[in-house]
Amino acid sequence: MRKKETRGRAWLATLYRWLCAGHGLVGAALVAAWVGPLMLVYGHYFEPTGYGDMLPVAGATWGLLLVAWLVHPLLFALLALLVLAGTVPYAHLAHFWGVGDLATRVATVLVSPPGEQHAFWRQYVIGSRTGQALLLYTSLSLVLVFAWVRLGWRCRTHARWRWALALGLAWVLWARPEVIRLHPTYRWVDAYLEVQRSYGRFLRRSARVQEVLAHMPRRVCAAGYDKIVVVLGESANRDFMHLYGYPEPTTPFLDRLEPKIAWRAISPANQTLFSIPILLTPATVQDFEPYFDQPSIVSLLRQCGYETFWISNQAPFNRTTAAFFTIAQEADVMTFTADHWARPVYDEALLELVPEDIQPGSKQAFFFHLIGSHFAWQDRYPPDQALFPQPRTLQEVYANTIWYTDRVLERIFTYFQPRAERMLFVYLPDHGELIVNDPAKSGHAFDDAFQEEYRIPFVVWTEDRTALEALREAGKDRIVNMECLYDVLTYLVGLETQLKVSYSPLVLRLSPGRIANYFDLPAWTYPETRP
């Protein structure tokens, strides 16, 4: 064993001294080219209109790394790893997602709940070439650091001209900061700081809503429901629902649920952060500002005398969930299943959080927030509760999540129906999901969005035949934009006498201000056209 250790140390010593002697300059030049320019050129190939201005900085990056090598190989390793941390994810995102606006893409990841962030890294980074490249380079860098610190080796790099060259380059970069600002690594950091600045506005919403409610008179919900149940799904594409024509029996409960209406609907946004606020407040695709100073439907039901509950299988409060957590805060009671850093909890666990003293006649409103069909899809249903026990394709895995959600909806419905004198039951997800053969090309929150990310179901069950007929006529042969959910709910509960429905094709790509026409978006399966 000691002989092997001696051989290992000798090999490291030989490698390290060879690098220190300068014989590795050619190799360093090649590594620097791969770390800096080639990654940017690769990403630019997929995003020719996005970051052409980054190409000049590629040469500066290459020069910086070479100078770092001449000063000390360890400095080279440190800087190369820092540069790689910016360029590799950029190229990865450009290849699979289309970065478009890099700051928006970074913000999308940062403001997603921890569970979604964890799933993102598992689904799209770990095991990908991006992850492999970073792992390989990090390992090599750690070997050099170990050799330098643990084994006591040092490079003899006392030549003053090397340090002078390094200081000169540092001065040039300091004098021309616009060069640094063009690099993805800088943009990652800048986007992170911007997310932190925007966090405060979400928090201030709670105080503003309380001010509005303090001066708001009591309301009357004339429909007379004693139980209102709104189930907010997650990443559910109606194309995979038998209720909407999918050939496999993925929605047996919703198929037989009567009386009901089922709209062919689209989500106002392709990520949870902005879809939930638009769904539950007066905010719209073209005007997101009402979210920040107007109460949600949760508060309006409280004003009508309902005891309100927010029961969620998504992450509880932190900096990344502030956008919809402030809506959850408006409820009398809010409960969460887990923090989602561990293995996700299945949605059936939500029923365990419902109070046991649910009695017919008591006015109560429940908002359930599912994890639904969010990636990683294989974790969203128990293996023994699947339509396809041994799925062969990603489509079958995703269909299993739809089938399991249908089972959860049935359990929620059958729990509340005998405990209600008059019940309203509503189901819709926050957005859809793109599912293709390649998991790395599936998901949602693409900058270059697809129609499938917005295709969602909207199902209402009520014994109020007049309301059902109004909804049926409003959705007949039309595609409804669920930016109008707030207005639809106020009509259903009797706060408003006129049904307001949106047929606008405008949707958000990731964030407010980035508006697209749904009918102009590409589709992987089939394009939906304007009725």
Give per-residue burial for 280-293: e unless 16+ CB within 10 Å, then b: bbbbbbeebeebbe
**What is the residue-wise DSSP string for 494-524?**
TS-SS---B---EEESSSTT-EEEGGGS--S
Task: Give the C-alpha separation, 101 to 84, whole Å.
Answer: 19
CA distances from 274 to 4, 215, 304, 376, 442 (A): 58, 27, 26, 21, 20
* 199 C-beta neighbours (distance < 10 Å), count: 17
Domain ranges of the chain: 2-193, 219-520
Residue 455 has pLDDT above 70, yes or no: yes
The answer, yes or no, to whether the previous bond of 259 is cis (omega within 30 of 0) is yes
Mean pLDDT of 352-368: 95
* 363 C-beta neighbours (distance < 10 Å), count: 16
In the prediction, which pLDDT does 367 show? Answer: 98
Q: What percentage of the chain has pLDDT greater than the value 70? A: 68
Whether residue 498 contacts residue 470, with contact meaning beta carbons closer than 8 Å, is answered with no
In the prediction, which pLDDT does 50 show? Answer: 53
Q: Which residues contact 420 (CB under 8 A, 6 or more apart)?
A: 225, 226, 227, 360
Q: So what CATH class is 219-520? A: alpha beta
Answer with the residue of higher pLDDT: 73 or 79.
79
In the prediction, which pLDDT does 65 show? Answer: 76
469 — pLDDT class (breaks 50, 70, 90): very high
341 — pLDDT class (breaks 50, 70, 90): very low
Task: Give the C-alpha separation, 162 to 143, whole Å.
Answer: 24
The whole-chain average pLDDT of the chain stands at 82
**What is the residue-wise DSSP string for 457-491?**
EEEEE-S-HHHHHHHHHHHTT-EEEGGGHHHHHHH
Q: Which two tokens stand for residue 327?
A: 């809506």
Mean pLDDT of 1-24: 58
In the prediction, which pLDDT does 2 show? Answer: 47
3-state secondary structure of 401: helix
Mean pLDDT of 414-425: 97
In the prediction, which pLDDT does 120 show? Answer: 65
- Provide the residue type at 485 as one letter: L
Task: Please write the tens of the pLDDT for every residue from 157-211.
Answer: 545 666 666 666 666 666 566 666 666 667 777 777 777 777 778 878 888 898 9
| Residue ranges in 215-349 assigned as alpha helix (H) | 252-256, 272-280, 290-293, 297-303, 322-328
Whether residue 81 contacts residue 138, with contact meaning beta carbons closer than 8 Å, is answered with yes
Summary count for the chain: helices (H), strands (E): 19, 10
The answer, yes or no, to whether the previous bond of 175 is cis (omega within 30 of 0) is no
In the prediction, which pLDDT does 375 show? Answer: 83
Calculate the CA 475 to chain-centre distance: 29
Whether residue 394 contacts residue 240, with contact meaning beta carbons closer than 8 Å, is answered with no
In the prediction, which pLDDT does 470 show? Answer: 98
Among 408, 429, 34, residue whose Cα is nearest residue 267: 429
The one-character DSSP state at 444 is S
In the prediction, which pLDDT does 150 show? Answer: 56
Residue 144 has pLDDT above 70, yes or no: no
Lowest mean pLDDT among 212-226, 332-346, 498-512: 332-346
In the prediction, which pLDDT does 25 show? Answer: 58
In the prediction, which pLDDT does 1 show? Answer: 46
Cα-atom radius of gyration of the chain, to the nearest Å? 27
- In DSSP terms, which residues pair with 184 in a beta bridge? none
Task: Give the C-alpha separation, 296 to 283, whole Å.
Answer: 10
Q: How many residues does the chain have?
A: 531
